[in-house]
Structure 1
């Protein structure tokens, strides 16, 4: 089985990139992994030390794949999609105009036998947003053998959790994706907050028909320290391992 996992949510700063990076690095110990950075600010790429200009601009300017493809380790490759936050829509239109040549460059990068593809959606994944959705459609068109799955990420605020549950369910229904996990991230370890989160998990479990994971706040994780090694940040990766082992 090969699987593509979208890391999605409604807000910035809830840990989508932290979880995406940690999951990709953890899984790369055993599997061949592609990390697709679809954050307009390309934070994941920056954290991994890559400063290429990105796929869209490289294709428009006729530059090589070294501007958007980066080998992180033997099993992990980074694909930086976006190039210029202020002009990304214009670049995207130009890439579409290029057409077949751009799609071939995309397929050449993705078709390298990756077991797992982790997609960091820094920009909200919406089916009516071409800047986000066109790449997803291109992937499905060229790689129909991949299972498409999603992981929803939220912070520990009750209203945010409720909103993200609705968004998560709507997204997996629209895209016919497998709900892989719902993550309540950065739960403060103070007072009765954990008890409240436990109660919320019970309330949403009937609607969110997948594993619901909670991850406590840890300053080291926020600072991207010890990536791929922290046990709490291996939860999503271990869940993916289990699914792959079931075939």
Structure 2
């Protein structure tokens, strides 16, 4: 089985990039993994030490793949999509005008036998947003053998959890993707809050029809320390590992 997993949420600051990076690094110990950075600020790329210009700008200016494709380790490759947050829509439109050349460059990155593709949607995934959705459509058309799955991420605030559950379900229904997991992240080490979140997680599992994972707050993770090595952040990776096995 080959699988593409979109990491989505309704807002920033909930740990999408932290979870996406930890999951990609964990799975790369056993599988061939591609991490697609679809954050306008390219935070995942920066954390991994890559400062290339990004796919859109490289294609528009006729530059090489060293500007958007980066080998992190033997089994993990980074694909940086965006280039300039302010001008990204303009770059995206110019890239579409280039047509077949842009499509070939995209396919060349993806078609290298990846077992797992992790997509960090720093920008909110919406079907009516071409800047996000066009890449997804291109992937589906060119790589139909991949299972498309989605992971929802929220912080531990009740209203946020409720809103992200609705968004998660709407996204799954709109894309027909498999609900893989719903993650409640950064849960404070306070017993009353942990009990409340535990009860909500059990209720949510019945609604979203997938595993609900609870990840406690860890100051080191906020600072992006020990990426890929913290046990709490390996929960999603281990779940995916079981599916692949």
Question: TM-score, normalised to structure 1's length?
Answer: 0.98
Equivalent residue number for residue 10 of structure 1: 10
Counterparts of 2:104 and 2:28 in 1: how far apart (Å)? 26
Equivalent residue number for residue 57 of structure 2: 57
Cα deviation 1:113-172 (Å, max 9, x = unaligned) = 000000000000000000000000000000000000000000000000000000001101
What SS does the aligned partner of 1:206 have?
helix
Equivalent residue number for residue 101 of structure 2: 101
Equivalent residue number for residue 240 of structure 1: 240
1:89 has 2:89 as partner: yes
Equivalent residue number for residue 73 of structure 2: 73
**Displacement of 1:205:** 2.3
Cα deviation 1:89-117 (Å, max 9, x = unaligned) = 00000000000000000000110000000
Counterparts of 1:111 and 1:98 in 2: how far apart (Å)? 20
Q: How does 1:173-192 map to 2 (within 5 A)?
A: 173-192=173-192
Structure 2 unmatched ranges of 5 or more:
none
Equivalent residue number for residue 136 of structure 1: 136
Structure 1 unmatched ranges of 5 or more:
none
Equivalent residue number for residue 207 of structure 2: 207
**Displacement of 1:201:** 1.4
Question: Does structure 1 conserve the Cα–Cα contact (< 8 Å) formed by 2:202 and 2:212?
Answer: no
Question: Does structure 1 conserve the Cα–Cα contact (< 8 Å) formed by 2:189 and 2:217?
Answer: yes
Counterparts of 1:175 and 1:242 in 2: how far apart (Å)? 24
The total of aligned residue pairs comes to 245
What SS does the aligned partner of 2:117 have?
strand
Counterparts of 2:201 and 2:37 in 1: how far apart (Å)? 29
Equivalent residue number for residue 40 of structure 2: 40
Cα deviation 1:6-49 (Å, max 9, x = unaligned) = 00000100000000000000000000000000000000000000
**Displacement of 1:57:** 0.2
1:218 has 2:218 as partner: yes
Counterparts of 1:198 and 1:31 in 2: how far apart (Å)? 31
Cα deviation 1:208-239 (Å, max 9, x = unaligned) = 10000000000011111111111100000000
Counterparts of 1:48 and 1:172 in 2: how far apart (Å)? 29
**Displacement of 1:202:** 2.6
**Displacement of 1:203:** 2.6
Counterparts of 1:19 and 1:206 in 2: how far apart (Å)? 23
